[in-house]
Amino acid sequence: MTLHSTYPAISDLRDRARKRVPAFVWEYLDSATGTEATKARNRQQLDRIGLMPSILHGAFTPTLATDLLGVALPLPFGIAPVGMSGLMWPDAEGHLARAAARAGIPYTLSTVASQSPEDLAPHLGPQAWFQMYPPRDEDIRTDMLARAKAAGFRTLVLTVDVPVASRRERQTRSGLTQPPRLTPRLLAQVAARPAWALGMARRGLPRMRGLEKYTPKTTTALASTQHAGYLLRTSPDWDYVSWLRDAWEGPFIVKGVLRAEDAEPLKNRGVDALWVSNHAGRQFDAAPATIDALCDIRAATDLPLIFDSGIEGGLDILRAFACGANFVMLGRAFHYALAALGPPGIAHLLDILKKDLEANMGQLGARTLAELPPPFSLP
């Protein structure tokens, strides 16, 4: 029995992850907002992207390498920012950062991660990206950028699709409060997952360590989230983008772009790449499928485009590239892998994606990502 025979697809990792983490953790990781129509739409519209298979092209081994922002990357995908990753597995951020460094792919640390930029500094590879939820206070903003830079992060990502908190009703129903409190109900959920509880007991419950410098000292784990909402609850505007552009020397990416009209103004403000995303349907339930937005934005700009939301395998990565993406990110899949199998899950997921990319490129006769055929609409 190999991992590939038991867990050949991301959906297998997802199923196992669900059985291994407490219900409130699962709902935090897996839920979207509203009736989750946007989350479903992401899948439906990806499935509608057709690619014509090719025949009689002879045998070849495809290369999965690609270029992004002037850098050659061995694989066309990386790891999206996920707040409080440590809830899914102890030291999740450390495991993900090390795996990304080994594989030479980008790892994005969230502002609201359970580890700080300093915690991760020893583990970062050259593709270390820092994702910023915009602090309202300019001193904190400046300090956060300086800390990210000193820790070794070279690429800055500003997330703009969280102008206000999302309701995420499924998460609320699970008993997870804002700020999180370990109520008897949550403790009962924890008791039902002893392996998870043991792991957390060994390392201590995760907290938003990167923000603790700016929050009052707290005595209880998880309570550091209490002030995070206030600190970060600001809706950035166009001037904020310009301010950040001036303040950060390296590549600067704006995440959460869905409207083609926003592409040129962002380019004019010096943004280096757009991250086309609907936050996996977690923020707004009437948003377009990210793949539809990608096609429109590609037609409107020559900026590099990063795509995420709902990637479930190598074929979805190829669909995004065929629609004009220059790179793809995955958020939940890496956390399903960790929750399902622990750290070996990350290497297994990388392998699933590589094998799936190679198999589908073989069907398409595409030796490189640049050779993918144009997409067409399936009924």
Ligand X SMILES: Cc1cc2nc3c(=O)[nH]c(=O)nc-3n(C[C@H](O)[C@H](O)[C@H](O)COP(=O)(O)O)c2cc1C
206 near ligand X, rule: CB under 6 A: no
Cβ 133 to ligand X, closest distance in Å? 6
What is the smallest separation between the CB atom of 152 and ligand X, expressed in angstroms? 19
C-alpha distances (whole Å) from 343 to each of 9, 98, 102, 321, 340 are: 17, 10, 13, 28, 9
Using CA atoms, how far residue 175 sits from 23, 111, 158, 297, in Å, is: 9, 24, 30, 38
- Mask for 262-291, x = binds ligand X (CB under 6 A): ---------------x-xx-x---------
Q: Where are the alpha helices (DSSP H) in the chain?
A: 3-6, 10-20, 23-30, 37-47, 92-103, 117-120, 138-151, 169-173, 184-191, 194-203, 225-232, 238-247, 263-268, 290-300, 314-322, 332-341, 344-364
Among 38, 45, 66, 110, binds ligand X (CB under 6 A): 110
95, 123, 279, 335: the catalytic one is 279
**Residue 371 CB, nearest approach to ligand X (Å):** 25
* Cα gap 342→324, rounded to integer Å: 34
Give residues 25-44 in contact with ligand X (rule: CB under 6 A): 28-29
Among 22, 81, 94, 304, which residue sits at the site for ligand X (rule: CB under 6 A)?
81
Q: Is 45 in the site for ligand X (CB under 6 A)?
A: no
Work out which of 64, 151, 190, 330 binds ligand X, going by CB under 6 A: 330
**Interacting residue with ligand X among 3, 80, 254, 320 (CB under 6 A):** 80
107 makes contact with ligand X (CB under 6 A): no
| Closer residue to ligand X in complex, CB, 32/263 | 32
Nearest-angstrom CA–CA distance, 291 and 88: 27
Stretch that binds ligand X, among 80-88, 178-186, 265-273, 355-363 (CB under 6 A): 80-88
Per CB under 6 A, 332 contacts ligand X: yes
Q: In terms of CB distance, is 68 or 82 closer to ligand X?
A: 82
**Is residue 159 involved in binding ligand X (CB under 6 A)?**
yes
According to CB under 6 A, which one of 308, 322, 326, 372 is a site residue for ligand X?
Answer: 308
With CB atoms as reference, the residue minimizing the distance to ligand X is 331
Shortest distance (Å) from residue 279 CB to ligand X: 5
Task: Name the DSSP class of 21.
Answer: S
Residue among 78, 180, 210, 331 that touches ligand X (CB under 6 A): 331
DSSP 8-class letter at 7: -
- In sequence order, what DSSP letters do the residues of 133-170 get, joined into one string? ---SSHHHHHHHHHHHHHHT--EEEEE-S-SS----HH
209 near ligand X, rule: CB under 6 A: no
| Nearest in space to 160 (alpha carbons), one of 295, 264, 252, 226 | 252
Considering only residues 94, 175, 236, 310, which one is a binding residue for ligand X as defined by CB under 6 A?
Answer: 310
Told to judge if 279 belongs to the known catalytic residues of this protein, a careful annotator would answer yes
> Can you state the angle between helices 344-364 and 332-341, rounded to 10 degrees?
130
Judged by CB under 6 A, the chain residues 228 through 257 that form the site for ligand X are: 255
User: Contacts by 100-103 with C-beta closer than 8 Å and gap 24+?
Assistant: 100/125, 100/127, 101/125, 101/126, 101/127, 103/74, 103/75, 103/350
Q: Where along the sequence are the contacts to ligand X (CB under 6 A)?
A: 28-29, 80-83, 110, 112, 131, 159, 255, 277, 279-280, 282, 308-311, 330-333
The residues carrying an active-site annotation are: 279
